Amino acid sequence: MKQKTPLLRNSGLQTLISSLFCIILGLLIGYLALLVINAEGAWTAITNVIKNYMTYPTAPARMKYLGTTLAKTAPLLMCSLSVLFAYKAGLFNIGVAGQYTLGAAASLFCALNLGLPWYVCLLAAIVIGAISAAICGALRAFCNVNVVISGIMLNWISLYSTNVLLQTVKESTGKDTIRLVKQHADSILPTLGMDKWFSNNQYVTIGIPIAILVAVLVWVILEKTKLGYELKATGNNLNAAKYCGMKENSNIILTMIISGALAGLGAALYYLSDIEPWNVNSSSVPGMGFNGIAAAFLGGLSPIGSIFSSYFIQHITLGGGYVDLSHYCAQISDLISAMIIYLCGFVLFFKTFINGRLDKHEEKRAHKAQALEAAQNTEGGKK
């Protein structure tokens, strides 16, 4: 007997509902924080966060800043893919921020110091990200080191190394690296004319389509291939993976290599669009990696979901810049993102809760149906 399963049983829909729930609650808490700081302008501030580029009055300006948001979404999407790919294999790659940092170092160094074309710079960033993550993976596989702790340690090591390395390509005055457009424009990612669509926003490069393509690729790897089958099995049950002869240690390292490569690529997509230089006095790793964690979980750990969640996180992060700075600060967006990650921790509970309610509901219905059947049977017997 096949029963129609209720729509709410669909795990994709449950994920969507819980993500929306996280977003609404996160924004609400952000709003409350704004209210506490200054009640008068709080509503305008939160709507500005949500509006982001829509706060501009003219359409061309809006398009231009939509372009900027998209350009900054591409690296975030890569970071979130990096996080979710590792997470599917049971590894929490918090080191994504450090791998991203090293990616920035490699791409900018290759571009500014060695004067290499963009695709070589891109490759360099991918390789260095992969190597750094492989260290994490190897420590986990052979020495049983917790990836979260080793990831954080590598984040700091990466940050200081990057600062040292990029000292060599710094502007003579100030703390920033030289802009690519001044030094070596060949290293900038091609725009393929897409900049025209966004009011000549030169930061709209092939980075955006590349990121989306990679997201689809990651989905295919995870869902359709033997590799994905093995990695997910390793993530779900390491012992079972070992038992059936998967090479669990090389799988862990391979996962981290791919994850790190994605993070490195993300950094290249950002810094090779010349949208921002690197500050060689940075005292913390860029927030992109940590926002990647938020986007990965908010996207329900699905590569396709990540495309949307990355956009959303980037959207409100930039939206934070539009609050009235005489009362508030842009970090209100960080607060909202952090809150969203926190709430994502409850998603499992939320799903269990929905399923529990559905179970109870179904049981009640089954009872009723049974009782009805019994009643009909006795009646039938009388006749």
Partner 1 sequence: MVLLLQYTLIFASVLLLVALGGCVSEHSGVINLGLEGIMVMGALGGALVMRFVPYSSATAGFGERILMFLLVFLASVALGMLFSMLLAVASVSFKADQTIVGTAMNLLGTALATVVVKSMNTAINPNDHSSEISYIEPKKAFLSNIGKFELNWFVVVAVVMLVICFIMLYKTRFGLRLRACGEHPQAADSVGINVYKMRYLGVLISGFLGGLGGITYITAGVSVWKFENGVAGFGFLALAVMIFGAWHPFKIAGAAVLFGMFRALGNVYNGIGFLKDLKIPSAVYLMLPYIVSLIVLAFTSKNSKAPKAEGIPYDKGQR
Partner 2 sequence: MENQYAIEMLNITKRFPGIIANDNITLQLRKGEIHALLGENGAGKSTLMSVLFGLYQPEEGIIKKDGEVVKINDPNDANRLGIGMVHQHFKLVECFSVLDNIILGVEPTTAGGILQKDEARKKVIELSEQYGLQVDPDAIIEDITVGMQQRTEILKMLYRDNEILIFDEPTAVLTPQEIEELMQIMKNLAAEGKSILFISHKLNEIMEVADRCSVLRKGKYIGTVDICNTTKEELSRMMVGRDVEFVVHKEPAKPGDVVLDVQGLTVASKTHPKDAVRDVSFKVRRGEIVCIAGIDGNGQTELVYGLSGLEPAKHGTITMCDKNITKMPIRKRSVMGMSHIPEDRHKHGLVLDYSLENNIVLQRYFEPEFTNPMGFLKKGNIRKYAERLIETYDVRSGQGPITMARAMSGGNQQKAIIAREIDKDPELLIAVQPTRGLDVGAIEFIHKQIVAQRDAGKAVLLVSLELDEVMSLSDRILVMYEGEIVGELDPKKTTVEELGLYMAGAKRTEVQ
| Residue ranges that bind partner 1, judged by CB under 8 A | 33, 37-38, 92, 94, 139, 143-146, 148-150, 152-157, 160-161, 163-164, 283-284, 290, 293, 297, 325-329, 331-332, 334-335, 337-339, 341-342, 344-346, 348-349
Q: Which residues bind partner 2 (CB under 8 A)?
A: 224-227, 229, 232-233, 236-237, 239-247, 356, 359-360, 363
CB-wise, 71 or 154, nearer to partner 1? Answer: 154
Q: How far is the CB of 342 from partner 1 (least distance, A)?
A: 4
In 3D space, the residue among 137, 126, 117, 51 whose CA is nearest the CA of residue 81 turns out to be: 126
DSSP 267-331: HHHHHTTTSS--BTT-SS--THHHHHHHHHHHTTT-HHHHHHHHHHHHHHHHHGGGS-TTT--TT
| Whether the Cβ atoms of residue 199 and residue 216 lie closer than 8 Å to each other | no
Residue 37 interacting entry, from partner 1, partner 2, none, C-beta within 5 to 8 Å by type: partner 1
Nearer to partner 1, 80 or 150 (CB): 150
Residues 6+ apart with CB under 8 A from 178: 112, 169, 170, 171, 277
Contact in structure between 249 and 144 (CB atoms under 8 Å): no
Closer by beta carbon to partner 1, 99 or else 150 = 150
Q: Which residue lies nearer to partner 2 by CB, 209 or 356?
A: 356
The Cβ-side half-sphere exposure at 208, using a 13 Å CA radius, reads 19
Tell me which residue of 322, 288, 309, 336 sits closest to 51, measured CA to CA: 322
Torsion of CA 279, 280, 285, 287, to 10 degrees: 0
- Minimum distance from CB of 244 to partner 2 (Å)? 5
Bridge partners of residue 279, in order along the sequence: 176
Q: Which does 148 bind (CB under 5 to 8 A by kind): partner 1, partner 2, none?
A: partner 1
Rounded Cα distance, 355 and 365, in Å: 15
CB of residue 344 to partner 1, shortest distance in Å: 6
56 binds, among partner 1, partner 2, none (CB under 5 to 8 A by kind): none
Q: Minimum distance between the CB of residue 201 and partner 1, rounded to whole angstroms? A: 27
Q: Among residues 173 and 283, whose Cβ is nearest to partner 1? A: 283
For 199, the 3-state DSSP assignment is coil
Q: How far is the CB of 237 from partner 2 (least distance, A)?
A: 5
CB of 249 to partner 1, least distance (A): 13
Partner that binds at residue 363, options partner 2, partner 1, none, CB closer than 5 to 8 Å by kind: partner 2
Q: How far is the CB of 133 from partner 1 (least distance, A)?
A: 14
In the complex with partner 2, the residue whose CB is nearer, 51 or 351, is 351
* Interatomic CA distance for residues 207 and 226, integer angstroms: 28
Task: List the single partner that 100 binds among partner 1, partner 2, none, CB under 5 to 8 Å by kind.
Answer: none
Residue 312 binds which of partner 2, partner 1, none (CB < 5-8 A, kind-dependent): none
Give the sign of the dihedral formed by CA 198, CA 200, CA 202, CA 206: positive
